[in-house]
Structure 1
Amino acid sequence: MKTKKVPLRMCLGCQQMKPKRDLIRIVKRAKDNGVQVDFTGKISGRGCYICKNIDCLEKAIKTKRIEKSLECKVPDDLIEVLRKEVIDE
């Protein structure tokens, strides 16, 4: 049998390619341009990925890589949700 190819995505914090399942997706929704954390990975819109590591998250926030990737301002409450999600992992 053939082995399935694992999709890889780049983390905005550490800039390393990792399996898509190991990352948290942040998406700017196509309908209303709202920003949210996508736990299913199926919400339509522009997405970016971050490791489940607090150092990567803080680095991405400090350098504004999330905002640059999504091409919009990221609300503070979403950043708090991300911090809680990363700490709980």
Structure 2
Amino acid sequence: MRDTDFRRWWAEHDVIQHTYGVKRLRHPVVGDLTLDYEALTVTDAPAGSPSERDLRLLADLPLSAPVSLGADGQRSKTPLRVPKSSAPSSSV
């Protein structure tokens, strides 16, 4: 391959974004994993929209915050309460 070819290919930067597929990984503890994946890249929501407000709300939630949906599939107005018996134990 000549340097001129590489420079042309690099300038074209013709990269295909893979948004779905199968990944095969070798984990040091559990061994081989075959995983399906799908990726959605979100860059923004329209300024001032309900979606922008809700995305900001999601960003501020702790990672372990449970979500409650009503029978209609809409977000419940009251937060989901996790009973203490089903909460993870912190004792070692």
TM-score (norm 1): 0.22
Q: Which has the higher contact order (CA 8 A, sep 6+)?
A: 1
Report the structure, 1 or 2, having the larger helix content: 1
Report the structure, 1 or 2, having the larger strand content: 1
TM-score (norm 2): 0.21
